[in-house]
Structure 1
């Protein structure tokens, strides 16, 4: 029989993987995290300013680095996390809390010293979060046969992010020169142009902070509209994202890993040739890999709200806006949407020989960050 600590640590492993994304609009699909778990989050100060300066790829990479550092520190243990464009959040069992805090601080130090970007970081226990009258519940969405992503509900993640921005629950900074382990973090794919008119970044949050019936009803209506799109609006083509050389993110990757740029150029040229011309190398099948990239991508998520990056036509944008305007007028939700011509992808690929690589999708010209900024401006 497992003791209480082991039962708590095994909580996430025990959750069912839900293949139907629509089921995640139902609060009954979620399970509350154990009381002794902790939640960490991070976001970039002044991300709108960084976007205006043309640094959104850097912003995305730092947001993904928060998750990459946690994955590498977890030693193969699965845990719930979510990518937000200009930040990220995660939850972990109590035995990992100290390591998780240290990795958050390491990414914060790295972001400041390598890129001149200030990253807020915070960590709080479930007891502290629940004492504020909100909760953190989680579900697992089976995006593909090889990858699942966590979905969050209950209002606790959004509450902690707001408290973090107010200066609460901050973690002590890491020593100068501290670097996180970002093995596998990359941004080598080219931007993905819209095939149907626009790449739409959509952020919907419950008006009261905690998703209720009004939010669930609106989410279901939005998902119903998206279902009419090719592959539910997935921005990555079935055959995979385009590749180019040199990759647009090579300077970022070299700086992130402190790698020799010439060596990285040679490595990425080989990878580009393999993917561009579908050259089999041993057991590696480039066509299968590119198709897996699309299947594994997180183009939609529930994160105390609904976030989606959709490839859609103008008519669909108008239908979505009408539904969202009506829901906002009745007071059940707030929303922001931002249109751009391309999507972009930041990846965590521990090994190209395995198919559990994860790919974070966002709009290439401001995406989730600018959509969320519209909510704040209202």
Structure 2
């Protein structure tokens, strides 16, 4: 089980935790910029991965940002890439991306830890899982609103926009196969690891009891995946991939995306198999390589279900919450949202999932309210 700490290994002492998040993401989402918020969070991962390749690091997408673990030796390489993501967010979408770094050594000095495990749900897809509450502590330090916060990445000369190679955002929102798609956040607050593991297992059992098997509540289905022809939708990818190249290059890229859409539809419909890619299997691999459930000191899930199932889920979670065992947040939407990192179209592609209209970022508001009430 993902919360079983015996499966985790400590991150080395000389590593750093990188946290990115869109400042005032709630207000941006209320203005309809939830797709841009998601895209910026994924773009920060893509930039970091590109900067330090072929080195592989553990990371997790959180909706309005991301978290990753980075060796100290890679800081000077990573900082220009992260600065590029911050500049891109401001120039292309008018949004501010906060970027912070905290050493693992300092996290441990405060009594927290950063533990990581590798989860492989499918043959070509690996996920990092985190425990130890160190990520939550790092995020708290980075989000302290002080003018001289020492954890915030200072001004840095940014890398060029090739740093975003592999970022893709070409799919239409995926309408729920049921009545709704929810983003679910659950954070255990029990005192010891054994109790937390039992609580999370009981919660997952409840999810299965209410929603059925994973295949039943998976928010994506093969027949409701479609490539977008909307310039508004495609503008997120175009803005990021041509961030510093000017309007002409951006328009050219948008036209290129329209051509690629038609080619992609034909390749997948005809199940064309090339030397490098079996296009008949691509949509299934997309489903397999999707992070619709994960753990980073907080259980994160995107679930398709009915409104009555959500009522039953809330009733079950309220029992745990009233016993001061968890805090949780739920955001309901009519669709899911995919943002992608593609290294190749055969097997090496990852698809970051959120509920539309704010997803995890909006669910976090309810989670934070419960945590504040608990502190009171």
TM-score range, shorter chain: 0.7 to 0.9
1:198 corresponds to:
180
Deviation at 1:303, TM superposition (A): 1.0
Residue 246 (structure 1) shift? 4.1
How far 1:264 sits from its partner (Å)?
A: 2.8
**Residue 215, structure 1, aligned to residue 207, structure 2:** no
2:58 is the counterpart of 1:80: yes
1:241 matched residue in structure 2? 225
In structure 2, distance between residues paired with 1:177 and 1:89: 20
The answer (yes or no) to whether the contact 2:228–2:261 under 8 Å persists in 1 is: no
Find the counterpart in structure 2 of residue 257 from structure 1.
Answer: 241
Q: Deviations over 1:316-369 (max 9, x none)?
A: 3233212211111111211101111100100001121x2020000000111100
Aligned match of 2:342 in 326, 340, 349?
349
Indicate which of 346, 349, 355 corresponds to 1:363: 355
Are the equivalent residues in 2 in contact too, given 1:239–1:287 (CA < 8 A)?
A: no
Q: CA 1:177–1:67 in 2, change beyond 3 Å: closer, same or farther? A: closer
Q: Deviations over 1:216-260 (max 9, x none)?
A: 333212222333235162111156733343476311111111142
Counterpart Cα distance in 2 of 1:343 and 1:239: 14
Tell me the secondary structure at the aligned position of residue 81 of structure 2: helix
* Post-superposition offset of 1:213: 3.9
| Aligned equivalent of 2:317 | 324
Within 2, Cα distance between the matches of 1:180 and 1:217?
45
Q: Specify the alignment match of 1:132 in structure 2.
A: 110
User: Quick one: structure 1 residues 375 and 319, their matched pair in 2 at CA, closer, same or farther if it must change by over 3 Å?
Assistant: same
Give the total of aligned pairs.
353
Take 1:27 and 1:186, find their aligned partners in 2: how far apart are those partners? 34
Report how far residue 131 of structure 1 moved. 1.1
Q: Deviations over 1:43-94 (max 9, x none)?
A: 1111111111111110000000111011111222221000000000000222
TM-score normalised to structure 2 length: 0.88
Unmatched segments (≥5 aa) in structure 1: 1-22
1:170 maps to 2:162: no
Say if 2:219 and 2:304, in contact at 8 Å, map to a contact too: yes
Cα root mean square deviation, aligned: 2.1
What TM-score comes out, normalization by structure 1 length?
A: 0.87
The 8 Å contact of residues 64 and 88 in structure 1, kept in 2 or not, is answered as yes
CA distance 1:213–1:318, shift in 2 (3 Å) = farther
Q: 2:168 aligns with which of 186, 193, 202?
A: 186
Which one of the candidate residues 39, 44, 51 is aligned to 1:66? 44
Equivalence for 2:121:
143
Is 1:231 paired with 2:215?
yes
1:302 corresponds to: 295
Partner Cα distance (1:103, 1:211) in 2: 38
Which residue of structure 2 lines up, in the alignment, with residue 117 of structure 1?
A: 95
Shift of 1:150: 0.4
The CA distance in 1 between the partners of 2:168 and 2:231, in whole Å, is 10
| 8 Å Cα contact 1:234-1:299 kept in structure 2 | yes
